Amino acid sequence: MAGKRLSIVITFIVLFALGIPVWWNTTTTYRSNVDFSKIQSFNKQINNTLNNNNSGGGGNNIDNNSQWSLFKDYLYSKTSDNNNRDTVVKSATEYCLSFTLLNADPSSSPFIPRWDFPSLFKSQLEPFIEQISDIANFTIQSKVAHYATLMKTPLFDKDLNQYNIPLQSLSEYINPNEWNLDSSSSTNQPTLNFIIFIPSQNNQSPLYIRDVKNKSNINSFLIPQWGGIIIHNVVDTADTQVSDNKYLDISAQLHNEMATFRYQLQELLGLHHLSPSEAVRLRVSDAHIDQLIDRYTKQNVNVSLQTLTSLAALIDGLPNMRVLDNIQHLVANATDALDRAHHCLEKHDRLCALRASKIALASSETAFFDKNMLSQLYFPDEHKYAVYTPLFVPVCFPIVAGVFQEYKNSRAKKAKNYNNSNNNNQIIIVIIVIITIMIKRNQIKII
């Protein structure tokens, strides 16, 4: 029985020992060798420069022969747009421009407004979009939506015979997030929303945003980093045509609104200081385009460097995070693109630097937001203990108990054998002593 029990314990131990290499190979996290040396070297130079600045040593202490020396101008000038940074949309390689004709209450009017968006876009926005096509890729969406309510009832002004929304209380009346426009794009690209809001014909028209201080009417406003909204009061004139199915084409009334959208888009992208004459033009000057290119190159470089630095810290901080080969390739692409951007800046080639910075931005953000890496952020070591403990403790406990019991039995058996051996030895010693005494007394004759 004891031998059978011992063989069972030994079998479990052997299987456990053989399973350790298998478990180790199947649970070991693969980590590709990602090279962050250039990023870390550049960050050290920047930190040294910032430390010199804090100690009064000046801000241009980066050696011109050091890693990416020209990027210092971009890093030190990154706060130059602080006054407008809350308005401008974040830097990206792709944007979705969503245009919506929003009819608040179709049941309140004998006609349903519609528009010829392709024609309006081509005449008012397409020239500017073509001008900035090097900065990013733009996806255009358009739709007509119905049923959108204001959060509060507008105030009716008898003297002006109009409904007013106080400018100072605008956020209390209009919240586009409540309209459920579903303007999100199919990718992670930022979406800029442009809405033409047609108020209800029963109890909201004509509707204006009233600036009480200046005693003036406003029909549009800009939402920082989100888009713009225009309130349009439909006018039934000869320019509008009602079809047999009660659809009213108001495209002829919307040219000014589309021009306003163009101006709002320029504000959101960072063109803030256009003169009134420039604002009404379909195209902006080359100087403003160069300014926009420089701004986006600067932002792309800054965001790429920050993203790669954060990625390096993330990988170092989570040793169990899986890092696949595609992350290595993406980081290498981003670093090489930053190299190219730096070389282009040395040659004063704006477009070359912009294109390289876009590649660096796209590669760095793709690497940072890789789904395989993000999953590891929510699976720390404590989760592994929670998985393995209920599985292995019930199995290991009887094995450990069996090994301990066999160890005790082995010790007891050895002690018993030792005692028997001692008893036999004592008997032999007694016999030898007796024989020795008898020989000495000549009781036994030796032949």
The 220-223 sheet, strands edge to edge: 137-146, 94-103, 191-198, 227-231, 220-223
Question: Does the pLDDT value for residue 414 go beyond 60?
Answer: yes
358 or 236, which is more confident? 358
Per-residue pLDDT band at 338 (split at 50, 70, 90): very high
Answering whether pTM is above 0.85, one says no
| pLDDT class of 393 with cuts at 50, 70, 90 | confident
What single DSSP character describes residue 413?
H
Between 61-70, 131-140, 197-206, 278-287, the lowest mean confidence (pLDDT) is in 61-70
pLDDT digits (tens, 9 = 90+) for 59-74: 444 454 455 666 766 6
Provide the pLDDT for residue 70: 67
Tell me which H or E stretch contains 433.
Answer: helix 381-440
Least confident of 313-322, 402-411, 416-425: 416-425
Return the bridge partners of 249, or none.
114, 241
pLDDT given for residue 426 in this prediction = 65
Among 37-46, 250-259, 436-445, the least confident range: 436-445
Q: State the pLDDT at residue 349.
A: 93
Q: Cα(309)–Cα(384) distance, rounded to whole angstroms? A: 28
> At residue 209, does pLDDT exceed 50?
yes
Contact 311, 367 (CB under 8 A): yes
Cα–Cα distance between 94 and 112 in angstroms, integer?
A: 34
3-state secondary structure at position 424: helix
Q: Out of 52-56, 110-114, 216-220, 440-444, which region has the weakest mean confidence (pLDDT)? A: 52-56
Beta 216-218 vs 155-157: how paired, if at all?
Answer: unpaired
CB contact at 8 A, 71 and 62: no
Is pLDDT at 281 greater than 90 in this prediction? no
Nearest to 190 by CA among 248, 137, 246: 137
Residue 351: closest CA among 395, 393, 289, 304: 289
Given a contact cutoff of 8 angstroms between Cβ atoms, the answer to whether 42 and 68 are in contact is: yes
| Confidence at residue 58, expressed as pLDDT on a 0 to 100 scale | 47
How large is the angle between the packed helices 255-269 and 117-124, nearest 10 degrees? 60
Alpha-carbon span 196 to 228, nearest angstrom: 9
When the pLDDT of each residue in the chain is averaged and rounded to a whole number, the result is 80
pLDDT digits (tens, 9 = 90+) for 18-35: 877 877 776 677 788 888
Q: Which residues of 107-116 are buried (b: 16+ CB within 10 A; e: fewer)?
A: eebebbbebe
pLDDT above 70 coverage of the chain, percent: 75
Candidate ranges 38-47, 247-256, 405-414; pick with highest mean pLDDT: 247-256
Q: What is the pLDDT of residue 100?
A: 95
Distance in angstroms (rounded) separating the CA atoms of residues 24 and 22: 5
